[in-house]
Amino acid sequence: MLLELEAVHVGYGQRMVVHGVDLKVGAGEIVSLVGANGAGKSTILRAIIGLTSPARGAVRLEGQPIHALDTAEIVARGIALSPEGRRVFPHMTVQDNLLLGGYLRDDAAAKKRMMDMIFATFPRLRERRTQNAGLMSGGEQQMLAIGRALMSLPKLLLLDEPSLGLAPLMVKEIGRIVREINRETGLSIILVEQNAKMALQLCRFAHVLESGQIAVSGTGAELLASPYVRNAYLGV
């Protein structure tokens, strides 16, 4: 098992947001987390990457505990986050944004191969590599945010709301890209999405979060067919 969360509780101050979540991600898997705003999806990603420390419970990468490490150490061990809202560096070029994503890695040849793969996957980034990131569209910035995370050469990629604020055609394109990255590289992915239909179509396994707890789990196909999920999250 690549990643395991065991009875993880996470809070902000005295307010607990995530309550005893268990989660597993195997090598090469896409696992989706779906749920309403405030359900705790992004908080779980923050706990995995070390931006918020769990109050209780354990986070293990390849069997080794990482919940007491800082974010730089966790990234160095092979986890990368593409954050909600993209958060690219607007006054830096596309290429410099990408290079910054790989600053913890010393393997120049591996970073060059990854840069080539990113430009092949996202041709628009290649076309705009000398352009400042702040001048690009929201969809292009999302591509850049994913590419920047990939430049750290991760084993596990955390995607936080990659379709947020994008037009329907771009949402479809982002979904295609996530599937392609997983298929071509074997990279494990945790996908957090309010677009439940897309998230469940992409994943092998999924969890529905409600009020900081896992309410329903199953394969993507099982949850797409679940009357409860269809009524509560798919609008059918």
User: What is the value of pTM for the model shown?
Assistant: 0.92
The verdict on domain 1-78+156-236 having CATH code 3.40.50.300 is yes
- Residue 153 is classified by DSSP as -
Higher pLDDT, 102 or 10: 10
Domain boundaries, the chain: 1-78+156-236, 90-153
For the stretch 168-178, pLDDT in tens is 888 888 899 99
Q: What confidence category does residue 37 fall into, taking pLDDT thresholds of 50, 70 and 90? A: confident
pLDDT band at 186 (very low <50, low <70, confident <90, very high): very high
Residue 21 has pLDDT above 70, yes or no: yes
Please report, in angstroms and rounded to a whole number, the separation of the first and last CA atoms in the chain: 35
Q: What pLDDT is stored for residue 14 in this prediction? A: 79
Query: What are the b/e assignments for 75-98, b being 16+ CB within 10 Å?
Result: beebbbbbbbebebeeeebbbebb
User: What is the bridge-based pairing of β-strands 188-193 and 30-35?
Assistant: parallel
